[in-house]
């Protein structure tokens, strides 16, 4: 598996925090907010969900049973994933290729949304993908988002954020996103799928979705994207001042 991404300039890596983790359920805003925060900091943005979505997309294309953990692990270990800066001006924050094919928007298709939690709950799959995430984070100057970044992937990260929002609000956000892309969707279907995914992600035995003990929790239910970004940047500035005083 290979990754190609723009790495932050060396001088930014020495600034506090070297890494920011941002976890939370679907529709909490972590990808949009994480990307904007990374841009403001001059950091690399990396959505760990890309890896699980890419594996889900590949498994569906190849007709692999999503309960077949052993086969999924084998696919995860040999799939060639490349993440690079956006190659098209279509709103994408980056371009994702699997085996040379651009699948950036395919990763957000409803069938991937519905099945990615089933794929990611396999312990072997997570074991195969976590080292790749840690290797990327080792460079520093990074905002990494996901569901278990602060608890499992990067438990020693200096700043951990956990975003959440009311289920109904998250479903409305995802509905607007799907319709903006011209994809058929209904509020009820999205709501039911998010509820199911929350139960799977929060109840799995391996790396359940939950805030790290030292994470800062932000409820985005009544906040705009700009307000959340401003709040997170404020937390970072406060942390930097304390770090300089220590």
Question: What region does 164 belong to: left with phi over 0, alpha with psi -120 to 50, or beta?
Answer: beta
Alpha-carbon distance of 92 to 113, in angstroms, equals 17
Contacts of 40 (CB under 8 A, 6+ apart): 229, 233
Task: Read off the pLDDT of each residue in 35-48 and give the average, rounded to a whole number.
Answer: 91
pLDDT digits over 82-140, tens only?
888 888 998 887 889 998 899 999 998 989 989 998 998 899 999 999 988 898 888 88
Structure confidence at residue 2 (pLDDT): 53
Q: Provide the 8-state DSSP code for 7.
A: P
Q: What are the Cα distances from residue 12, in Å, to 21, 31, 47, 141?
A: 16, 21, 20, 6
Of the pLDDT bands very low, low, confident and very high (cuts 50, 70, 90), residue 8 is very low
Joined tokens for residue 85: 């800066």
pLDDT digits over 113-128, tens only?
899 989 988 999 999 9
Contacts of 23 (CB under 8 A, 6+ apart): 30, 145, 146, 147, 148, 149, 150, 151, 160, 161, 162, 163, 209, 211, 212, 215
CATH code linked to domain 17-230: 3.40.50.300
Structure confidence at residue 69 (pLDDT): 94
Nearest to 162 by CA among 204, 245, 218, 81: 218
How much is the CA Rg of the chain, to the nearest whole Å?
Answer: 17
Of the pLDDT bands very low, low, confident and very high (cuts 50, 70, 90), residue 1 is low
Q: Is 179 exposed, middle or buried (0-12, 13-18, 19+ CB in 10 A)?
A: exposed
pTM, two decimal places: 0.82
Whether 22 shows a pLDDT value over 50: the answer reads yes
């Amino acid at each position: 598996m290979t990754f190609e991404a723009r790495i932050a300039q060396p001088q930014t890596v020495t600034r506090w925090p070297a890494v920011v983790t941002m976890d939370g359920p679907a529709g909490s805003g972590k990808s949009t907010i994480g990307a904007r925060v990374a841009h403001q900091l001059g950091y690399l943005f990396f959505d760990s969900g890309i890896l699980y979505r890419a594996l889900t997309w590949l498994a569906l294309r190849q007709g692999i049973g999503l309960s077949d953990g052993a086969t999924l692990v084998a696919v995860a270990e040999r799939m060639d994933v490349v993440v690079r800066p956006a190659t098209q001006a279509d709103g994408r924050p980056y371009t994702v290729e699997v085996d040379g094919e651009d699948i950036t928007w395919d990763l957000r298709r409803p069938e991937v949304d519905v099945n990615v939690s089933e794929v990611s709950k396999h312990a072997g799959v997570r074991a195969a993908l976590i080292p790749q995430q840690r290797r990327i984070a080792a460079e520093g100057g990074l905002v990494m988002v996901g569901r278990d970044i602060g608890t499992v992937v990067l438990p020693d990260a200096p700043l951990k954020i956990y975003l959440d929002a009311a289920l109904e609000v998250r479903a409305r956000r995802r509905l607007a996103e799907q319709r903006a892309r011209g994809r058929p969707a209904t509020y009820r279907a999205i709501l039911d799928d998010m509820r199911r995914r929350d139960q799977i992600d929060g109840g799995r035995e391996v790396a359940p979705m939950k805030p790290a003990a030292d994470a800062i929790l932000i409820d985005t239910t009544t906040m705009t994207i700009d307000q959340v970004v401003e709040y997170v940047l404020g937390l970072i500035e406060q942390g930097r001042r304390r770090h300089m005083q220590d």
